[in-house]
Structure 1
Amino acid sequence: MAGDLNGALAIGAGCANCHAPLSGPFCAACGQAIDTHRRSLYRLTRGFIADLLSLESRTLRTIGVLLVYPGELSRAFHQGRIQRYVPPVRLYFFLSLLFFVALSFTHLALVQFSLAVKTVPARVAGGAPRQAVTTDMVFFQPAGSIQNGDVSKDAIETVRGQREPGARESAFERAVYQTLYRLQADPAALNGPLTEWLPRILFVILPLFAAVTALFYIGSRQFLFVDHLVFSLNLHSFGFMALLMAGVLAQTLLPGAAVAWLFFGLVCAYLLLAMKRFYAQGWVPTGLKFAGIGLVYSVFVLLPAFGGLIAASVLYG
């Protein structure tokens, strides 16, 4: 049986699996490839380096297109131009892994909670003035950089004791105050559960975003559900890139609250431009569908998902 140092059998030789004559790169009888993957150490090393450089080149090219040309990767997939780019699922997992590894190595907390005790005016409280514990979320700051020393546990107890005479504390209220005690001691106390569950939540809602998008483009028969799913994957991949950029900006130029609004605006603008490029409709229908998709997705997917995540962190975190 003939072969060469590249690990490929010669055309005309017998198939190694079924011994049928070979006339191309695959056996016509059983479908096995000619390439047996038997190579010398030199060729293995050279092939590994070539594959590594090719993968790096494709990854950089794909990320560049993702950032600069919203919707282009989805359009390339729809048109069958897939060889030049990293597959959308692989890109999503790569960027999500990169984001969470970066968080781990830089010791940045995705979110921390700064507490304050403020007086609620009588006209707002509906009676006598009352005190309340307020929370401000601080994003992408080193874990432990936020301190709640100005709010003592006794101050939280005072707020907790302002119930009407005879009123009983619900189980949820108890959980909230227990969480406030934890945040008073450690402002990053909820960061662990949120960071642990966030990638799982995002992965689950990927097809939900695709379903919402498909609903608004139900009359566009040239798009299959898989096209909407790829669009969703690429959008969320950009979201992880935007989070990485937000983390850098939070350390250098913008405070946490401002960078959160910048991230939100950036993702919204990207979505609008991506929809315009990929679905190739006019600005008016694209804008209307953008507003509709954003509303439906926010109300029926994002708010329940992340509200449930925060509630679960409070109750069981």
Structure 2
Amino acid sequence: MSEISESLAEVGQGALAANAAEPEAGGAGDGHTHESACLNCGTALIGSHCHACGQAAHVHRTLGAFFHDLLHGVFHFEGKIWRTLPLLAWRPGKLTREYIDGRRASYISPIALFLFSVFLMFAVFHATQGHEEGKTTGNLIGIGQNVESVRADMRKLEAERAAAVVRGEATGSIDRQIARKKEALAALDSLEAEGLDIEISDKSGKGIHSDIPQIDKALKKFKANPDLATYKLQTYAYKYSWALIPISVPFLWLLFPFSRRFHLYDHTVFVTYSLCFMTMLVIVTMLAGALGAAWVGAVLFFAPPVHMYRQLRETYALGRLSALWRAWLLVWFSGTALLLFFILIMAQTGG
């Protein structure tokens, strides 16, 4: 129940953040006053907003109106959400081009939609990805069994090393495996002292490591305390989700190098709306999985390339072949951008 409450809180927070970027247009209704002069600056009103400071002409002063505005902000976005989402899903290129060309009043801005979709994605994640206390995913075995397993592997490796020495062969590879086993054993001993359980998912004994020091440090923290590391990973991914935009824009620019027709602003709008769609796709996949329809995720796996192709073609007025090869490259560029984002998050987690 607490996870659902936290999820609703995050949805509300996302709505408020998105509403800050996409102010509501206001309007008459129950719980709203009807002023002849702006309550903020005193200017005479000639419409639904003050032409001097931009504040809505009608402000709510009842508790019912307050909650109406809250629900309105979460689910309605002044009606723009219902005009934006269909275009985002089916004609993303038209939505992007309309916004770039200045026809924006009917749609949610890309950054507002991005903020809201990210909040919603993490809210759905927390609501659907429950876990049991004191356990991690996979096959769990007790600390004592883990220690004995590692020690048995070490004895086997030491026997292999001794045999290699007798044969006059190099032992560098075996020495590195033994060193990693010793590190794992030290970590298990500390966990055993705390009475915790741990999952050993790498049966080969080689472990997972990286040549990048920050990431290697983060991976070691994952091994030592998976639950804490996973929590930190989610937290940093949540905080730095906006970084996907500046990471992705240069890759899109590479598809139109030195173009005078298209500018970085165009690419930024394109990338932000595209990320909104991909985030919504993840939300649908998680909800489908929670409802026992995991096959939906398998079907939606093919949606991103098609969406990129359609968005590229209409946003940049490309022919089919031109949009096709750019979409193919964009799929690879997107994977690279996600990898860079993951490296950024792992480096932060390992700090």
- TM-score range (shorter-chain normalised) is 0.5 to 0.7
On the 8 A contact 2:34/2:57 being kept in 1, the answer is yes
CA distance in 1, matches of 2:185, 2:242: 28
- Compare the two structures and name the one with the higher strand fraction: 1
Out of 181, 201, 216, the residue aligned to residue 255 of structure 2 is 216
CA distance in 2, matches of 1:308, 1:160: 34
Q: Decide whether aligned partners of structure 1 residues 79 and 262 sit closer, same or farther in structure 2, where only a CA change above 3 A counts.
A: same
Give the equivalent residue in structure 2 for 1:32: 52
Give the equivalent residue in structure 2 for 1:269: 306
Q: Decide whether aligned partners of structure 1 residues 278 and 187 sit closer, same or farther in structure 2, where only a CA change above 3 A counts.
A: same
Report the aligned-residue RMSD.
Answer: 4.5
Amino acid at match of 1:183: E
Give the equivalent residue in structure 2 for 1:291: 328
CA distance in 2, matches of 1:227, 1:99: 25
| Unaligned residue ranges in structure 2 (runs of 5+) | 1-32, 162-170, 192-196, 202-224
CA distance in 2, matches of 1:176, 1:74: 54
2:273 is the alignment partner of 1:279: no
Q: Decide whether aligned partners of structure 1 residues 177 and 219 sit closer, same or farther in structure 2, where only a CA change above 3 A counts.
A: farther
2:102 is the alignment partner of 1:80: yes
Cα shift at 1:246:
1.3
Tell me which of the two structures has the higher relative contact order, counting C-alpha pairs closer than 8 angstroms and 6 or more residues apart.
2
- Compare the two structures and name the one with the higher helix fraction: 2
2:125 is the alignment partner of 1:103: yes
Q: Decide whether aligned partners of structure 1 residues 39 and 96 sit closer, same or farther in structure 2, where only a CA change above 3 A counts.
A: closer
Cα shift at 1:189:
6.1
After TM superposition, the structure 1 = structure 2 runs for residues 36-75 of structure 1, keeping only pairs within 5 Å, are 41=61, 45=65, 52=72, 55=77, 57-75=79-97
Cα shift at 1:55:
2.1
SS at match of 2:121: helix
2:139 is the alignment partner of 1:148: yes
CA distance in 1, matches of 2:154, 2:232: 25
Q: TM-score w.r.t. structure 1 length? A: 0.63
Give the equivalent residue in structure 2 for 1:92: 114
| Unaligned residue ranges in structure 1 (runs of 5+) | 26-30, 110-140
Identity %: 17
Cα shift at 1:107:
3.7
CA distance in 2, matches of 1:271, 1:39: 42
Cα shift at 1:278:
1.3
Q: Decide whether aligned partners of structure 1 residues 36 and 49 sit closer, same or farther in structure 2, where only a CA change above 3 A counts.
A: closer
Q: Decide whether aligned partners of structure 1 residues 146 and 82 sit closer, same or farther in structure 2, where only a CA change above 3 A counts.
A: same
CA distance in 1, matches of 2:282, 2:244: 18
CA distance in 2, matches of 1:177, 1:282: 60
CA distance in 2, matches of 1:278, 1:176: 56
Amino acid at match of 2:279: F
Give the equivalent residue in structure 2 for 1:7: 35
On the 8 A contact 2:88/2:277 being kept in 1, the answer is yes
Q: Deviations over 1:139-169 (max 9, x none)?
A: xx99968441369513345446637637256
Amino acid at match of 2:264: F
Q: Decide whether aligned partners of structure 1 residues 150 and 92 sit closer, same or farther in structure 2, where only a CA change above 3 A counts.
A: same
Amino acid at match of 1:7: E
Q: Decide whether aligned partners of structure 1 residues 173 and 199 sit closer, same or farther in structure 2, where only a CA change above 3 A counts.
A: farther
